[in-house]
Amino acid sequence: MRRNYISPEYYNTKVYGTYNMIEESNFFGSKMLDVEDSISIENQNLIYYQKNTNEQLDLSIESTSNSIVYSSADDKRVNHTIVYDPTQPIYQLENNTMWIIDINVRNILSNYLFATLKRYRTFEGVKNTMTLSNNVDVSIAEYVSNNVIDRYKVKSITLFISYKDLRDQSILRYKNNWNSSVALDVNKFTKVQTETSFDGTSTKLIFTQEKPSSTYSFEYFFNILFEKI
C-alpha cells in the first residue's frame, strides 16, 4: 500500500457523555429528568452522603461518614431581604409600617433541586474526572440550570407572621426575626401584594404591619410553592 503523506485534519476522540450537561432531544426521545408537578419548599431538611470529593460512588462506604444536610429554612433565610418601604409617609412608618420582602426564588429552587438530586443519588457513579469542570457538583448545578429550573414557576408564597410586644424592649423596634416555628395556620398573613420579576428570578411580598410598629415587632416565615410549566 502506498502512503499519501496527507495528514488528517482532525481526530475522533471518545469523551464521557457527562461532559455535556444540556439535554438534547431527538426523534427517539431523550433521557430528560422526570420532575414533579409541584414543589413546596417549607421547613424540610434533605440529607445525603458523598465522598469528600463530592462524588457519590458507594453508599455503603459514604454513609459511614458525616451526612450533608440541606436546610430549606436556612436557604430561604439567606436568599431574601426584608426592609420597610422607604417611600411610605412618616405617619405610616411610625404606625402601620409597610414592609417589602424580596425573595431570590431562583436561587432557592436551584439549591433545593441540587440537594434533591444528591439525596436520590441521581448522578451516582459519575466521577469528577468524567465532567468537563472536573467537579461533579459544578456539573450537577449546570444540569439543574440548563434543564430543570426553567420548567417551574412560582405558584404561591404563604407568609406567616407572629407579633411580639415591644413595650418593655423598645430598642428592638423595626427588628423582625426569621423564625420557622411561626409557620402555623393561625399565623397565616393573607393581606399581601405579590410582584414577580419579568425573568422569574425574584418575587417581592409587600404588606402592611397590622399592629403598630411603635409597640410591636414580628417574627416571620414563608413557604414557596412552585408548579411545573
Evaluate whether 95 touches 205 at the Cβ level (below 8 Å): no
Residue-wise pLDDT for 16-67, tens only, equals: 777 777 776 655 555 567 778 999 999 999 999 999 999 999 999 999 999 9
**Stretch among 118-132, 139-153, 165-179, 201-215 having the lowest mean pLDDT:** 165-179
Burial class (CB in 10 A: 0-12, 13-18, 19+), 190: exposed
pLDDT given for residue 18 in this prediction:
77
The three three-digit cell numbers of residue 172, written as one number: 428592638
Residue-wise pLDDT for 78-103, tens only, equals: 999 999 999 999 999 999 999 999 99
Mean residue pLDDT across the chain: 90
More confident residue, 217 or 16: 217
Is the confidence at residue 139, as pLDDT, over 60?
A: yes
Residue with cell 409597640: 215
Is the confidence at residue 3, as pLDDT, over 90?
A: no
Evaluate whether 183 touches 42 at the Cβ level (below 8 Å): yes
